[in-house]
Amino acid sequence: MSRSRFLSIISGGAVAAVVACSGSSSHKPDAACGPGGAPVDGLVASSTSPAVTLTYGNLQGGANNDCPDPSAPAGIVSYTIMGSQTDNGGGLITMCIPRPDLLPNGLQLGFGSDAGVQLIDFDGSVQATGCTYSLSVVAPTGTVSSGGECNNGSNAAGFSLSVSGSVTLTQTCAGGSGAIVLQLGGTVAVANQ
């Protein structure tokens, strides 16, 4: 059974269709679905010492069932989000959400099946320093939530994604490599594929 429900509201002879948004007990019109003004780039991983800033955006998502949760209710399909570094590098970010129906209330960021939002890939570069960054074996921490998410993320309007946490990356520069912890945060639009 689909998590989307349709109700007809009759008011003054007019009939309006209203769509229930996932993760919410209230019914919202289609206009309430979507990123709500969230920027297309704005997911930032940064550190003050050493000074590093990696900005990501152009997020595209789809119900691709790449990380299914075997205990999910019928009709819940896992959702994959991919984006790119939008500042001065060529990095990528990929996340998979086994239970997109729970995302509006916030899920834990991490690795593997124990995480509500699985960070699959995260890399980047800073052209000015020549340094590159890649995901380390240390699990990221924090929470991820959505706003304006309808139909478990599959609504054509898309939604906003808010992240607050940290990610440990391997920094590789001319002088060598080592681990660096970057604060990961921001709210960004996700377009549905």
Q: What is the pLDDT of residues 61-107, one digit of tens each?
A: 999 999 999 999 999 999 999 999 999 778 999 999 999 999 999 99
Min mean pLDDT across 31-35, 87-91, 97-101, 158-162 is at 87-91
- Domain limits for position 93: 34-192
Structurally, the chain folds into a number of domains equal to 1
24 located within any domain: no
pLDDT (tens digit per residue) in 167-187: 999 999 998 999 999 999 999
Whole-number pLDDT of residue 88? 76
Residue 59 lies in a domain: yes
In this structure, is residue 103 part of a structural domain? yes
Residue 6 lies in a domain: no
Instruction: Transcribe 78-129 into DSSP letters.
Output: -EEEEEEE-SSS--EEEEEES-GGGGGG-EEEESSTT-SEEEEEEEEEETTT
User: Residue 188 — very low, low, confident or very high, per pLDDT cuts 50/70/90?
Assistant: very high
